[in-house]
Structure 1
Amino acid sequence: MLSKTSLRAVLTKLQAAQLRQSRAAYAAYLAGAARDRSEPTDHDQASQALGNAELAEFFEGPTRTYEAGLKRLQAIDFGPKSRVQEGAAVQLDGRWYVVGVATQAFECDGLTYMGISTEAPIYEALEGAVAGDTVEYGGRVLRVQNVA
């Protein structure tokens, strides 16, 4: 049986774990990239410091994405849905998706889901669909079996 409360809890837990992992990777990178300020700096070290700053932005990006995703999950209405919209669980050709934030496949109450963002191309094809509709995506016709 589909429980939207459980679904939200699992999504939140997954997003929070990704955020913790991302923050840890970022902190580890910064710790390894820090230079000893007691030593004089030459041009090579200054160039390396600039490169390290650019790489730090690369590591910080996922952290900001997970932070935004966690905040978004807290704001989504996961109540019952009859049309594909944010907060809906959607069954397409036997596979379950939940609309909110993009995730890897995860288990909840005995079913496997994948999170999709409202910015994902597949969401554009699905938005507003109801159970029984067909949508075209990637050159394929998909049948919407359930919307909850």
Structure 2
Amino acid sequence: MDKVKLKEALIALEKHHIDEAEMKYDDFLLGNLLDKTEVIDDDDQSHHRQSIEISDQLEEQAHVHLEHLETIHKISFTPKKVVEPGAVISVNGRCMIVAVSKPMFTIDGRNFIGISTNAPIYKELAGKKTGESFVFNGNTFKIESVY
């Protein structure tokens, strides 16, 4: 398993998400600025306040992805013997990478999901080795491999 390629893919995904968030933010701002040359009534001001809340949420999304990017850069993706940040694990046929929360993505035809150390399942996985089992949400899982 090429963990360098995995790290590069995670970095590329986060950069893509940052770019998307920034474009959505910029587009939103352009479409929601008040025109000071026109009469502004109470309804316009109410919509403007709502727009500010939405723009804050869009800006926050970009910051979250920037934090994810920093986290990925800091993690060592060297081979692992136990589940810890930077580990890639196979559990019941599913591959997880311990770094940041990320929905399923595919590299070289193989599906991965990203989990953070704050994920509830990580608390059950942390420190475990290949062959060990754990219980999560009432289900038993077996760690097939740790890379």
CA distance in 1, matches of 2:6, 2:112: 9
Shift of 1:3: 0.9
1:127 equivalenced with 2:109 (yes/no): no
Task: Describe the SS at the equivalent of 1:64.
Answer: helix
Structure 1 outlier segments of 4+, above 3 Å: none
Which residue pairs with 2:95 in the alignment? 96
Distance 1:132 1:57 in 2: 45
Deviation at 1:41, TM superposition (A): 2.6
* 1:16 aligned onto 2:15: yes
Residue 106 of structure 1 corresponds to which residue in structure 2?
Answer: 105
For the aligned residue pairs, the C-alpha RMSD in angstroms reads 1.2
C-alpha distance in structure 1 between counterparts of 2:54 and 2:136, whole Å: 36
Segments of 5+ residues of structure 1 without an aligned counterpart are none
**Count of matched residue positions in the alignment of Structure 1 and Structure 2:** 147
Q: Distance in 2 between matches of 1:136 and 1:60?
A: 38
CA distance in 1, matches of 2:36, 2:81: 60
Aligned amino acid, residue 42 of structure 2: H
State the distance in 2 between where 1:85 and 1:109 align.
Answer: 23
Q: Distance in 2 between matches of 1:55 and 1:11?
A: 27
Following TM superposition, by how much is the alpha carbon of 1:82 offset from its aligned partner in structure 2, in angstroms? 0.7
Deviation at 1:63, TM superposition (A): 1.2
Question: How high is the TM-score relative to the length of structure 2?
Answer: 0.94
Contact 1:15–1:69 at 8 Å: present in 2 too?
A: yes
What amino acid does structure 2 have at the position aligned with 1:108? I
> Which residue of structure 2 aligns with residue 75 of structure 1?
74
SS at match of 1:104: strand
Distance across 2 between alignment mates of 1:26 and 1:120: 28
How big is the shift at 1:61?
Answer: 2.2
Structure 1 length normalisation: TM-score? 0.93
Q: Report how far residue 28 of structure 1 moved.
A: 1.1
Q: Distance in 2 between matches of 1:38 and 1:75?
A: 49
